Structure 1
């Protein structure tokens, strides 16, 4: 250990945070230089591939402080390779590369120096974890408006990103593939855990006054039968494929061009001194994801009541169960007006506004409120 401590053991090529894992790797490789300078190694932590090390001799002739400008790690793909973002550092005769996002199990990568491939490596599939599953597709109803705007896919495991165009298909009548139905967003709209993906049907084809709609038509037509198919070949971040393929079948009805109206909602009140749920019936399905972030119950002092929300009846009903019993008092249900229905109409304005008609509806601002009282 004394000999190790005497050595100037690393050089950062560009500033990055040196966390405990990298320090451990530096220590390990500095003590075993003969092995580390001859091949590419994958660095792992908690079953994740969090980096690689490769011999400095791969960058022969390049000044150490310029390696990051000439070395590159890319994903190998049938169509094209994709650059992997990350940080480089030098440890004795070894170059360390730490990607911003861990490498994906089951995929192959290449190392290039001055545009020339000098090595490849593969991240083997992680068979220690169970296969991922699709937990739900929202909206959950099997009858949807022809101007449906968003679809949410909920997975059991963090999934591999950038793959929805390959593994999600929209069919009509179980046979005809509707090309270009979903908006090709890169990066895709994942939650931080990469377990919930938001897919947008192309708004340019839904809005009737836009050129894509006039040229291609809307993705969905009323009185049609459609299927959203998710292929079992989609893999999670560990390289494991879905347990099976999934299909959601639905039929379409006429366009929904009206904003949700809280004045029409029905509220069923709980009894005092109980933690029974407050029930809110919207009389129509609303956006599943937005329902989870736009509703709040407050007391008469304006303080938020802590509790749990449940979304039921094909997103037409919400239940709120407080953590503590209700008391006899006045309460407020606060709704953020960004809450939408399935066609993207929020509380203030429709998604596909008819500009030829004068709008008489009064804007609600950022919030709408419904007062209710728990009585003796």
Structure 2
């Protein structure tokens, strides 16, 4: 398992969980994946806290079946924190997610299609998921749909993705204008991380734009734009290659965008 590939482009602080207690005064704002269904080969999840908690969090986190029985050792014993200490990313044990590895053969997969699982913190339910089939394909930017926006407005650009992406990857996409100047604004992931929205700081001008997608963008199962997590062990990683989706904003409000994908 190549953690540098999974975490490329994202800054984390690594903390190994200890036995001392965690401060309870750090409510969780968001758990991602936020959708009701997750793939059986989900590799990571994240928690956003309202404030940086004190002490390790992982000892209090459990993943259980709907009947309350715990799943056996589902997580890597690592806490990956954002620099501000508010967002925690946990990895499900890669040796049990990827087929053909010793840990999976010995302990079995963590998630099984058709199951219902519950994520808890200190015994308190945080999220309930239904486990769907594994996702072996990864994001395909040529299948994304870009919705129209009106020029001379600050209407949010909405991009419907072909499948959920990692909840931490909203800023792995950027909009640039015809002169290759970045468009300032705020990006957000919605609808179970299947919709990317971008609200510009200034009104749109009519013309051509490009949505630039970082090559290290991934889905929750570790699949990249041009690379699959579930690949033979002797297969070298494909280099991360940025992609672009070209679209036009017409001079008349309501004229559809014309998206085209390129590498």
- For the superposition of Structure 1 and Structure 2, which TM-score range results when normalised by the shorter chain? 0.7 to 0.9
String of CA shifts for 1:320-355, please: whole Å, max 9, x gaps: 111111111111000001111121111011111157
Q: Deviations over 1:210-253 (max 9, x none)?
A: 11111111111110010010117xxxxxxxxxxxx343111101
Task: Quote the RMSD (CA, aligned, Å).
Answer: 2.4
Separation in 2 of the partners of 1:364 and 1:183? Answer: 26
Contact 1:174 1:227 in 2 (8 A): no
* Residue 206 of structure 2 corresponds to residue 328 of structure 1: yes
Cα distance in 2 between the residues matched to 1:263 and 1:303: 23
Structure 2 contact 43–222 (Cα < 8 Å) conserved: yes
Over 6 Å off, 4+ runs: none
Please show how residues 26-37 of structure 1 align to structure 2 within 5 Å: none
- Please identify which structure carries the higher helix content: 1
TM-score by length of 2: 0.82
CA contact (8 A) 1:223 1:251 kept: yes
* Contiguous gaps of at least 5 residues in structure 1: 1-76, 82-105, 108-124, 233-244
1:114 — aligned with what? none
Q: Which aligned pairs between 1:1-376 and structure 2 lie closer than 5 A?
A: 131-164=25-58, 166-185=59-78, 188-231=79-122, 245-290=124-169, 292-354=170-232, 365-376=240-251
Shift of 1:293: 2.3
Pair member with larger Rg: 1
Alpha-carbon shift at residue 173 of structure 1 (Å): 2.1
The 8 Å contact of residues 347 and 364 in structure 1, kept in 2 or not, is answered as no
Structure-2 residue corresponding to 1:69: none
SS in 2 for 1:293: helix
Shift of 1:364: 8.0
